[in-house]
C-alpha cells in the first residue's frame, strides 16, 4: 500500500465513521494521530493518541503539529442543544482550520452533511454548488464549516474537501437511504481520492454511493476521480420485506433531509 503522507490526524477516531476509516488510514501514512475526547486503545505500531476537546484551541494546536493532512470526523454528529453544536461544530471547526493554518497543514478532509441542504425537495437534482438549505442547527453548523473551508482556502490556501455525507451505514435501513446511502467501501474510496488528487482548492462533493435513486450530481467535481461502486438498490428486497413504505406525501420523504425536516426545535420542551 502506497504511503500518501507522513502524518495524518484523524479526529472523531472513536466514532462510527472514525472506526471505519482508522485501519484504512493507518496503511496510508507513517504515523496516524488519533483524536478523541476520551482515551482509546492504540491498535497499530504507527498510531499515536491526542486526547482533546475540539473547543480547546491550545490542545487542537498541539495535535495538529507536524501533521500533513487531517481527516476530520469529530464534533457533534447529529442535532443537539445549541451549545453542543456551537462548541463541537463551530468553535471546534474554527479551531481546527486556524490550527491548520498556523501549523501549515496541507489539506483538511471533513464530513459535511446532507443536512446542509436538507430543505431541498427530493425531486431537485443538486450539484455541489447549489444553494444551501439547512434543516437543523446541526445543518447550519455544516454550512458554517463549508464557508470556513472556502475562506481558509481563498485567504490562506489551506486546501480542503467538504464531503456532504448522505447516510453512511453498513446497510440501507429505510426507504430514503435508497437515495442517500454511502457504503463504507465507497466512503473509504472517497477519502482516498480526497487525499490523492494533486489539487482540490476547496471542493464540495456529495458523499453517496452509485444509487439509482440519487438526487445528487457530482459531475462538476469529476476531477476528484470518485467512482462509487455500491448501489443501495441492491438492498431493496430487504426494505420490501422488513420496512413499511411511507406514504408518498410524507414530509420526511418529500425533503432530502428526511426526519431532520419534520423534527421540532431540539431544545423545545
Q: Does the residue 25 lie in any domain?
A: yes
In the predicted model, is pLDDT for residue 4 greater than 90?
A: no
Looking at residue 251, its pLDDT comes to 85
Q: Does the residue 216 lie in any domain?
A: yes
Q: Does the residue 268 lie in any domain?
A: no
Neighbouring C-beta atoms of residue 133, cutoff 10 Å: 20
Could you give the residue numbers annotated as active site?
138
Q: Does the residue 99 lie in any domain?
A: yes
Looking at residue 1, its pLDDT comes to 61
Secondary-structure percent of the chain, ordered helix, strand, coil, rounded to 5: 40, 20, 45
Give me the residues paired with residue 111 across strands: 163
pLDDT tens-digit profile of 209-268? 999 999 999 999 999 999 999 999 999 999 999 999 999 888 888 999 999 999 999 999
pLDDT tens-digit profile of 129-186? 999 999 999 999 999 999 999 999 999 999 999 999 999 999 999 999 999 999 999 9
Q: Does the residue 269 lie in any domain?
A: no
| C-beta separation of 194 from 161 below 8 A | yes
Helix/strand/coil for 269: coil
pLDDT tens-digit profile of 43-90? 989 999 999 999 999 999 999 999 999 999 999 999 999 999 999 999
How many domains does the chain divide into?
A: 1
The answer to whether the Cα torsion of 248, 165, 265, 38 is positive or negative is: positive
In the predicted model, is pLDDT for residue 11 greater than 90?
A: yes
Q: Does the residue 91 lie in any domain?
A: yes
Question: What's the domain range around 91?
Answer: 5-262
Q: Does the residue 96 lie in any domain?
A: yes
Neighbouring residues of 226: CB distance < 8 A, sequence distance ≥ 6: 189, 190, 193, 205, 218
Q: Does the residue 40 lie in any domain?
A: yes
Percent of the chain with pLDDT over 70: 99
CATH of the domain at 191: 3.40.50.720
CA torsion angle 243 248 251 252 (round to 10): 30
Amino acid at each position: 500500500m502506497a504511503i500518501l503522507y507522513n502524518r495524518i490526524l484523524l479526529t472523531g477516531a472513536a466514532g462510527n465513521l472514525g472506526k471505519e476509516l482508522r485501519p484504512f488510514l493507518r496503511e496510508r501514512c507513517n504515523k496516524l494521530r488519533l483524536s478523541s475526547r476520551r482515551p482509546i486503545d492504540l491498535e497499530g505500531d504507527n498510531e499515536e493518541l491526542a486526547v482533546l476537546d475540539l473547543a480547546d484551541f491550545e490542545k487542537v494546536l498541539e495535535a495538529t503539529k507536524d501533521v500533513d493532512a487531517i481527516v476530520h470526523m469529530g464534533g457533534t454528529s447529529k442535532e443537539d442543544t445549541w451549545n453542543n453544536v456551537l462548541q463541537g461544530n463551530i468553535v471546534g471547526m474554527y479551531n481546527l482550520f486556524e490550527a491548520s493554518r498556523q501549523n501549515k497543514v496541507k489539506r483538511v478532509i471533513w464530513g459535511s452533511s446532507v443536512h446542509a441542504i436538507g430543505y431541498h425537495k427530493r425531486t431537485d437534482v443538486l450539484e455541489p454548488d447549489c444553494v444551501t438549505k439547512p434543516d437543523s442547527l446541526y445543518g447550519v453548523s455544516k454550512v458554517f464549516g463549508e464557508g470556513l473551508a472556502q475562506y481558509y482556502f481563498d485567504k490562506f490556501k489551506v486546501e480542503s474537501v467538504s464531503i456532504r455525507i448522505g447516510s453512511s451505514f453498513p446497510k440501507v435501513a429505510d426507504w430514503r437511504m435508497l437515495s442517500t446511502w454511502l457504503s463504507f467501501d465507497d466512503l473509504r474510496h472517497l477519502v482516498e481520492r480526497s487525499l490523492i488528487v494533486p489539487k482540490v482548492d476547496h471542493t464540495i462533493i456529495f458523499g453517496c454511493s452509485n444509487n439509482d435513486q440519487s438526487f445528487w450530481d457530482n459531475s462538476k467535481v469529476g476531477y476528484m476521480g470518485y467512482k462509487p461502486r455500491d448501489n443501495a438498490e441492491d438492498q431493496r428486497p430487504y426494505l420490501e420485506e422488513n420496512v413499511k413504505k411511507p406514504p408518498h406525501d410524507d414530509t420526511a420523504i418529500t425533503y432530502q433531509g428526511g426526519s431532520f425536516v419534520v423534527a421540532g426545535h431540539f431544545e423545545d420542551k
